[in-house]
Amino acid sequence: MMKHLLSMEDLSAEDVTQILDTAAGFVDLGERTVKKVPTLRGRTVCNLFYEDSTRTRISFELAAKRLSADVLNFSAKGSSVSKGESLKDTALTLQAMGVDAIVLRHSESGAPLTLTQWVDAHVLNAGDGSHQHPTQALLDLFTIRQRFDRIEGLRVAIVGDVLHSRVARSLVQGLRTMDAEVTLVAPPTLAPPRPEAWGAAVSTDLDAVLDKTDVLYLLRVQRERMAQQFFPSPREYARLWGADRDRLARLPQGAIVMHPGPMNRGMEITAEVADAPNAVIGEQVRNGIAVRMSCLYLLLGGDG
């Protein structure tokens, strides 16, 4: 296993399979009364969060605690960071304290890779800017595999603000590594430049791809993009690219709907779709803990 988890680009199909297989072993643990194994006892995991994210932080915290690691939560607000300390100095401080792993969430792309040059600890990317969110991609792949017993050959449509989405960047790479077909559906203003480099098809027409879709993956669309003229109004966005009851009905039998959360109900997804039986949004969250346990275990477990 590699030293850090920074980008889905670094993972082979074997790596992904190993992570998902290992995660499968941890899923049941969450159902037990005693949800804890002693695997990482005595190891220290620091959640270093430069960007608010209660969901991801809690998921990583639970994952580390269920492996019996000691967990530090270092939030940029109310810390030395808000007093102007650089990432480098924060990194050197954590290095001096001897943490074993740093889970980094950062608003700027590339920060986790930059961090690795200053620390010996394992670095896990918990989302960096518009770049990558590998544990989200892995939990999505886990959820897809759980539903279909395979990933290869599935047709996945990723819909919404692809341009600014780290979820999309990491998930597309993961899906391509596992030989799924990916279509990005977005207004042209929110499609990434040079999508051919992603190995994905691009469409502006959601209705044209629905009946060829096994997994409909909806991305969060921030309302602030409207002010930046990426689209004229939430109403128009919802009409052209939102998932509603009618569109849900046009998916093939057995297709599922996914969303990384938090959802904008009424924008990219209506309440009926979010709560539909084939929406697996809750499972994604549940599986997130097991997948993050798997990542921590595989990265740290091999250390002497």
Partner 1 sequence: MSAFTFVGARVVDPASGTDQVANVTVSGEEIVAVGTQVDGTAIDADGLVLAPGLVDLHVHLRQPGREDAETVQSGTAAAAAGGFTAVCPMANTDPVADNAGVVELVLRLAREAGHCDVFPVGAITRGLKGEELAELGSMAAVGVRCFSDDGMPVVTARVMRRALEYARTWDAIICNHSEESSLTEGAQLNEGEASSLLGLAGWPREAEEVMVARDLILAGGLGARLHVPHVSTAGTVALVREAKARGVRVTAEVAPHHFTLTDDLARGYDPVFKVNPPLRTKTDIEALRAGLADGTIDAIATDHAPHPGEQKEQEWAYAPCGMVGLETSLAVTLTELVDPHAAVHERGDGVLSLLEALACLSTKPARSRDIAGHGGPIEPGTPANLTLFDLTASWTADREQTQSRSRNLPYHGMTLRGRVQHTLLRGRFTYQDGQVA
- Asked whether 260 and 281 are in contact (CB, 8 A), the reply is no
Instruction: Check binding of 92 to partner 1 (CB under 8 A).
Output: no
Measured from the CB atom, is 58 or 113 closer to partner 1? 113
Nearer to partner 1 (CB atom), residue 242 or residue 260:
260
Q: Which is nearer to partner 1, 162 or 269 (CB)?
A: 162
Q: 23: which strand partners? A: none
Q: Identify the residue among 29, 68, 73, 198 touching partner 1 (CB under 8 A).
A: 198
Among 42, 84, 98, 193, binds partner 1 (CB under 8 A): 193
Closest-CA residue to 157 (of 206, 198, 114): 206
Active-site annotation holder among 22, 56, 143, 270: 56
- Is 32 labeled as catalytic in the residue annotation? no
> CB of 128: closest distance to partner 1 in angstroms?
7
194 binds partner 1 (CB under 8 A): yes
Q: And the tokens for 123?
A: 């670095």
- Contact predicate 149/176, CB 8 Å: no
d(CA 50, CA 38) in angstroms, rounded, equals: 29
CB closer to partner 1, 96 vs 197: 197
x-or-dash pattern for partner 1, window 94-133, by CB under 8 A?
------------x-xxxx-xx-------------xxxxx-
Tell me how crowded residue 304 is: count the other CB atoms within 10 A of its CB.
2
Per the listing, tokens 């009946």 go with: 211
Phi-psi region of 184 (alpha: psi -120 to 50; beta: other; left: phi over 0): beta
What string marks each residue from 2 to 31 as x (binds partner 1 by CB under 8 A) or -?
-------x----------------------
Q: Is 56 a catalytic residue?
A: yes
Distance in Å, CB of 27 to partner 1, minimum:
30
One of 4, 106, 133, 247 is an active-site residue; which one? Answer: 133
**Number of residues lying near partner 1 (CB under 8 A):** 24
Q: Out of 30, 35, 93, 195, which residue is the one contacting partner 1 (CB under 8 A)? A: 195
Q: What is the DSSP letter of 262?
A: -
User: How far apart, in whole angstroms, are the C-alpha atoms of residue 45 and residue 244?
Assistant: 41
Q: Is 239 a catalytic residue?
A: no
For residues 145-174, which are near partner 1 according to CB under 8 A?
166, 169
Catalytic residue among 105, 147, 176, 259: 105
Place of tokens 């994905």: 200
As a whole number of angstroms, the distance between CA 230 and CA 133 comes to: 23
- Is 56 a residue that touches partner 1 (CB under 8 A)? no
Q: Is the dihedral of CA 139, 145, 152, 178 positive or negative?
A: positive
Considering only the stretches 11-19, 86-94, 180-188, 243-251, report the one whose residues sit in contact with partner 1 under the rule CB under 8 A.
86-94
Is 183 designated active site? no
* Catalytic site includes residue 133: yes
Please tell me whether residue 80 binds partner 1 under the rule CB under 8 A.
Answer: no
Q: Look at the block and give the residue holding tokens 């297989």.
A: 21
CA dist list (Å): 84 to 51, 79, 80, 115: 15, 9, 7, 17
N- to C-terminal Cα distance for the chain? 14
> Which 269-298 residues touch partner 1, going by CB under 8 A?
none
Phi/psi at 217 (5° precision):
-110, 115
Residue ranges that bind partner 1, judged by CB under 8 A: 9, 86-88, 106, 108-111, 113-114, 128-132, 166, 169, 192-195, 197-198
